Structure 1
């Protein structure tokens, strides 16, 4: 569980989510979340674990040592899914431009 807690902390910090804000969102004390992230607490309710993994875009396969790029792509996938549910138009605009940009840079790399 220590590795999971550390990964949760890293992902939370990457997203600029404060410890107390996230603890409040999860309905737990700041101390409990801090203890989980530092490995002092090794138990966690399954429903809370599922929410954390979903919120932060962490996959179980990512916990098993997948490469950093695979983990980043999983986080991006999670963020895009949230964008799609919040604003399908923004999602469509963003993904169209992303695809176009990747194709454009791929052409430059091949020369």
Structure 2
């Protein structure tokens, strides 16, 4: 009786360790789940990184546009000041008065402020 129990228990133990047939294999679903999770995490990282790059490019473009606006405004201001200085110099030339360049710049700045 003991030998029958021993044979049955060793057979049961052997069947859980050794596959039942040559073609029968156990699939470990955890490997598939982990690879799917890694893929999802990689995709999430890539999307986040692409969003960061797009945001930084947008900030650079905005800064360049702002710098171009400032440069255009500065150029327009300098052209207006130069025209005003020329106008003042022509008015003073008709009366025979002479003012230095610094004086003309101060008069033009006074007119544009």
The structure showing larger relative contact order (alpha-carbon pairs under 8 Å, at least 6 residues apart) is: 1
Give the TM-score, by structure 1 length. 0.22
Q: Which has the higher helix share?
A: 2
| Greater C-alpha Rg | 2
